[in-house]
Amino acid sequence: MKEYAAGMKWGEGPRRQHGALWLSDTQGGKLWTDHDGPWRGVPLDSVPNGLWFLPDGRLVGAMMHERRIGVWTGRRFATYADLGAVATGPLGDLVGDAHGNLYVDDVGFAAHTGKPPRPGRLLRVGVGGSVDVAAAGLEFPNGLAFVDDGRTLVVAETARQRLTAFTVADDGVLANRRTYADLGRLAGDDARPDGIWATRDGVWVATTTGHAVALVREDELVTSVDTGTLLPIACCADGDGRLFVTLADLQGLPLGEALATKAVRTTVGLLDAPATGDLA
């Protein structure tokens, strides 16, 4: 795996658009991109977690410590949708459909602060700004991705070590909850899924403490790439046979301590992954 970029503390939500990479540094308080040429981090007063591009090309982010979706102005994330009446926070990953509807993790508790776990939810943000609860009772909802041409939404449940799937109705309602992939069984006892990315060949999963990036189909492990001592956080493919993976170096510390002391360092690894064209 080749190094693509460095300098982050904890890289989440990697996204590619027009040949540029964007990601959120939730621990470092920056938005990183090579959109304008050199790889650089833009300091932020309020940092997003998950990122997504709307159909019109605008970048939006799930503001991690606020109950809103922000839209990037080039200098800051202005409010795109207010989730204050519904969200409990913190907010996690973010994904959108072809119509511009967004789905975001309402995690339910701040794990890195030592707060006791409680069930999380998925929130749906309509094109007009409406917000409702799309699914409840999720144990640390994390990575999100559409498969089957948008007919199925997959969410990583980190605490349950699995990917969970929902059928997406024409009106965006989620139904028929089911296990898509048992990561503990398929990728190892230490696999705890964080970021995911859907391709024609399956769903790539960053397994964090599993120290691997795994490609899975429904209840099937296709392949796995070992990341050594580094923890894979999140990933995205560019459709040209390349997978971008954010990789955390904990400096020999336990994960909780490394996050609490901000000792962790993140790089972006570039993996050659043939035939990983993005799903429509």
pLDDT in tens, 32-73: 999 989 999 999 999 999 999 999 999 999 999 999 999 999
Average pLDDT over residues 12-21: 96
Task: Evaluate whether 164 touches 180 at the Cβ level (below 8 Å).
Answer: yes
Quick one: pLDDT at residue 162?
A: 98
Percentage of the chain surpassing pLDDT 90? Answer: 82
164-185 pLDDT per residue, tens: 999 999 999 999 999 999 999 9
pLDDT averaged over the chain?
Answer: 93
Structure tokens belonging to residue 173? 């309602």
**Residue 274 — very low, low, confident or very high, per pLDDT cuts 50/70/90?**
low
233-247 pLDDT per residue, tens: 999 998 878 999 999
Average pLDDT over residues 248-263: 87
**Residue 276 — very low, low, confident or very high, per pLDDT cuts 50/70/90?**
very low
Structure tokens belonging to residue 85? 């009446």
Q: What angle do CA 3, 8, 12 make, to 5 degrees?
A: 90
Quick one: pLDDT at residue 39?
A: 96
State the DSSP string of 163-228: EEEEEEPTTS-EEEEEEEEEHHHHH-TT-----EEEETTEEEEE-GGG-EEEEEETTEEEEEEE-T
Which is higher by pLDDT, 278 or 25? 25
Note the pTM of the prediction, 2 decimals.
0.94
pLDDT at 279 over 60: no
Structure tokens belonging to residue 149? 């041409």
Quick one: pLDDT at residue 230?
A: 96
Residue 274, C-beta contacts closer than 8 angstroms, at least 6 positions apart: 241
